[in-house]
RNA sequence: GGCGCAUUCGUCUAGUGGUUAGGACGUCGGCCUCUCACGCCGGUAACAGGGGUUCGACUCCCCUAUGCGCUACCA
């Protein structure tokens, strides 16, 4: 009977959720869902100086958009709250005291200046930079009394020698020498805990079974394991995810293009496409499948098949994936997703939606496919002008007008038949035949199929525009 | 500098001692076609380098190189 799976996504609220965070959240979510577990959102706001206004709301909005709803968190509650670390301060201080009492941690009175000098010296000597343990040598009673009066931090007493071989679900065994590990600060001078303490205490108190987080935490895993040991707790399983990288292979960041989830939403990407894409950056199920929905990912995901090396966040494939997901959508769902990317004044018909669903890659591509439907009067672009001044344009258009004259009812099919006849008469087909007609009616030489265009405009308007274009050609 | 992790087509990746090294995106060519797209078909392109181990290495070991991460009273 394995422990119930409880995983957490624990971002610090320093701004918009970016795609790397999205992937971490996704892997946690997938792991929870497929194991009938619980996905917890915890806000790691122990650094007062890095707080960003509204960041938590943006985070929630991004997760919701992506479909990764937390089962427990600051906004939904749960039995293990509060879920903001800033609201759990007493817990950390109490636990730190416990460690000082049992000799696993100690107060340190060293000034930042001394620490800086120490680091410089060690670096010049080619040593690992770590606290030299000056305050660790203080007699406990002296340390205790000074702690009452002087500003200080609490440090973890890390072993001086020996080594630790730890097990990561993705990287398997990794070894570290204790002498390379620093006496990590647990409680800062301002009374707030550092990430290391808060994260271990919370993960234990929240019954977290698996810690799935970014690779940047791998080097601090020995400290975390030591903390579990000092508290006498069983540690959870750990899995350190490879990083997402910029095109130049540096750790993914802003500066090099958009990385915020919100940016992708605004640019016309579907949440299911972005989720699909980040899932595949660093994971595959050994099959040749490329397009997945959340349900399929949940079924296929395994933490053991997560890649070890970092992946460059190259959006080329994302664009294609977005088109794939667009094509798979129900017409009504697609229309709902599309509307925010179009002018609210536009009277979009189902035929226009369908015309666009079969061909675009981004939702935002639809605007330039459809805008001419609503522009009055017609505006001819450069390519359209060229098509209209083609020697045969006049013949094509006046022939078409003649056919219009004899029309009893007008429809897209009528147009198709009429143009086909004209083509046969003049020995034309393809763009030579159709560009002048498109140009005349739409002002463009590219766009949705002519049946959609012509039926949206109606007989009168088509005739007017062709007449106008003939005089132009 | 120290420590750790990593390294298959341009990109995401399959591969766990014997493969014509597979797929996808991109790109190129073609087809389809009322345009542009979409779609379909085909081509292009990779095991970082050097040593071992082995009858045989992309696969195992070592070294080098390169990249990245960490090295804070940030997360």
What pLDDT is recorded for position A256?
58
Supply A196's token pair.
């290391």
What pLDDT is recorded for position A460?
82
> Is the distance from CB of A155 to CB of A118 less than 8 angstroms?
no
What pLDDT is recorded for position A411?
78
Cα dihedral angle (A325, A328, A329, A335), rounded to 10 degrees? 80
Name the residue among A284, A229, A266, A338 with its Cα closest to residue A62.
A266
Distance CA A2, CA A93 (A): 32
> Is the distance from CB of A357 to CB of A339 less than 8 angstroms?
no
Does the complex come out with an ipTM higher than 0.85?
Answer: yes
Supply A172's token pair.
């398997």
Distance CA A89, CA A192 (A): 7
What pLDDT is recorded for position A255?
59
Please state whether strand B lies within 7 Å of residue A195 at its CB atom: yes
- Tell me the backbone φ, ψ of residue A267, rounded to 5 degrees: -80, -5
Which residues have a Cβ under 8 Å from the Cβ of A149 and sit 6 or more positions away? none
Supply A271's token pair.
């949440």
**For residue A90, what are the CA distances in angstroms to A74, A152, A241, A464?**
18, 17, 31, 77
DSSP A72: B
Secondary structure class of A440 (helix, strand, coil): helix
* Chain B positions with any atom < 7 A from a protein CB: 1-8, 10-15, 22-26, 33-39, 67-75
Angle at alpha carbon of residue A234, lines to A230 and A236, rounded to 5°: 120
DSSP H or E stretch at residue A142:
helix A140-149
Please state whether strand B lies within 7 Å of residue A8 at its CB atom: no
- Identify the residues numbered 439 to 458 in chain A whose C-beta atom is closer than 7 Å to any atom of strand B: 445-451
Distance A23 CA to B38 C1' (A): 29
Distance A286 CA to B14 C1' (A): 6
Please state whether strand B lies within 7 Å of residue A189 at its CB atom: yes
> Is the distance from CB of A275 to CB of A26 less than 8 angstroms?
yes
Closest residue to B35 measured CA to C1′: A446
What pLDDT is recorded for position A473?
62
What pLDDT is recorded for position A254?
63
Across chain A, which distance is largest between two alpha carbons, in Å? 108
Task: Sort strands A153-156 and A163-168 into parallel, antiparallel or unpaired.
Answer: unpaired
Q: Which of A254, A317, A420, A429 is catalytic?
A: A254
Distance CA A343, CA A19 (A): 28
DSSP H or E stretch at residue A91:
helix A89-101
Name the residue among A391, A407, A402, A397 with its Cα closest to residue A439.
A397
Total Cβ atoms within 10 A of residue A372: 21
Q: Which nucleotide has the least CA–C1' distance to A285?
A: B14
Report cis status (omega within 30 of 0) of the bond before A270: no
- Taken in order A273, A277, A278, A284, the sign of the CA dihedral is positive
Q: What global pTM score does this model have?
A: 0.92
What pLDDT is recorded for position A407?
67
Distance CA A51, CA A45 (A): 7
Annotated active-site residue A188? The verdict is: no
The stretches in chain A having pLDDT less than 50 are none
């Amino acid at each position: 009977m394995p422990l119930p799976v409880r995983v957490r996504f624990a971002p610090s609220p320093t701004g918009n959720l970016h795609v790397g965070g999205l992937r971490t959240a996704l892997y946690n979510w997938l792991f929870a869902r497929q194991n009938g577990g619980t996905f917890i959102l915890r806000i790691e706001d122990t650094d007062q100086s890095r707080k960003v206004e509204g960041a938590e709301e943006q985070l929630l909005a991004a997760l919701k958009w992506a479909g990764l709803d937390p089962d427990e968190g600051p906004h939904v509650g749960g039995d293990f709250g509060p879920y903001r670390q800033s609201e759990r301060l007493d817990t950390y201080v109490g636990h730190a005291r416990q460690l000082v009492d049992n000799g696993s941690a100690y107060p340190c009175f060293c000034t930042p200046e001394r620490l800086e000098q120490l680091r410089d010296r060690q670096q010049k000597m080619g040593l690992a930079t770590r606290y030299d343990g000056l305050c660790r040598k203080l007699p406990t009673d002296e340390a205790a009394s000074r702690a009452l009066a002087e500003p200080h931090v609490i440090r973890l007493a890390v072993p001086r020698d020996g080594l630790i071989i730890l097990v990561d679900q993705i990287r398997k065994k990794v070894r570290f020498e204790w002498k390379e590990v620093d006496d990590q600060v647990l409680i800062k001078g301002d009374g707030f805990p550092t990430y290391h303490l808060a994260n271990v205490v919370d993960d234990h108190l929240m019954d977290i079974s698996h810690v799935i987080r970014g690779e940047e935490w791998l080097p601090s895993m020995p400290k975390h394991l030591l903390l579990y040991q000092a508290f006498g707790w069983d540690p959870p399983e750990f899995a350190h995810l490879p990083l997402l990288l910029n095109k130049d292979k540096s750790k993914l960041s802003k500066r090099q293009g958009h990385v915020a989830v919100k940016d992708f939403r605004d640019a016309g990407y579907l949440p299911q496409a972005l989720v699909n894409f980040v899932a595949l950056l660093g994971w595959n199920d050994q099959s040749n499948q490329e397009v997945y929905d959340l349900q399929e990912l949940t079924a296929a995901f395994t933490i053991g098949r997560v890649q070890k090396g970092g992946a460059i966040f190259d959006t080329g494939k994302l664009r294609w994936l977005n088109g794939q997901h667009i094509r798979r959508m129900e017409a009504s769902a697609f229309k709902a997703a599309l509307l925010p990317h179009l002018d609210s004044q536009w009277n979009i018909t189902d035929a226009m939606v369908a015309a666009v669903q079969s061909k675009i890659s981004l939702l935002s591509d639809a605007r330039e496919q459809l805008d001419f439907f609503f522009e009055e009067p017609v505006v001819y672009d450069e390519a359209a002008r060229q098509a209209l001044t083609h020697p045969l344009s006049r013949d094509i258009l006046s022939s078409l007008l003649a056919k219009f004259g004899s029309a009893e009812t007008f429809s897209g099919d009528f147009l198709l038949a009429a143009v086909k006849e004209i083509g046969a008469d003049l020995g034309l087909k393809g763009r030579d035949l159709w560009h002048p007609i498109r140009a005349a009616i739409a002002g463009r030489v590219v766009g949705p199929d002519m049946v959609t265009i012509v039926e949206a405009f109606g007989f009168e308007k088509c005739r007017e525009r062709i007449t106008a274009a003939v005089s132009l050609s």
